[in-house]
Amino acid sequence: MADDCLFCKIAAGDVSADTVRESEEWIAFRDINPQAPTHILVIPRQHIATLNEAGPGEAEMLGRLLLAAKEIAAEEGIAEEGYRTVLNCNPGAGQSVFHIHLHVLGGRAMGWPPG
């Protein structure tokens, strides 16, 4: 756990969140400022600030985050219609919380390219 990391505090249960699903390795909760009718964040319990800090030892965990996103999309009823997963890395890409997190967005049409 990293000091002063909001998402570490959510993973530890010290800050409340609208949790939809969790495992020993990750926790998924609704984004506080949703950008789509369904907007869920999947975060590892392990503190990794950005994708740039992830190494080969995190490969399986990162893969399981994607599989969690797939399962959550199915539970939310957006799997067939379509959904988007996004992992912003560093401020130039829009990262504002420095604990990696996978956005799962759906329930509306998505434009491409993203802004």
Residues that bind ligand AMP (CB under 6 A): 6, 17, 29, 31-33, 41, 88, 94-97
Catalytic annotation, residues = 101
- CB contact at 8 A, 78 and 106: yes
- The least distance separating ligand AMP from the CB of residue 70, rounded to whole angstroms, comes to 19
Compute φ and ψ for 95, nearest 5 degrees: -70, 130
Q: How far is the CB of 57 from ligand AMP (least distance, A)?
A: 23
- Closer Cβ to ligand AMP, 32 or 109, answer by number: 32
Least CB distance from residue 17 to ligand AMP, whole Å?
Answer: 5
Q: Which is nearer to ligand AMP, 6 or 61 (CB)?
A: 6
Q: Which is nearer to ligand AMP, 33 or 52 (CB)?
A: 33
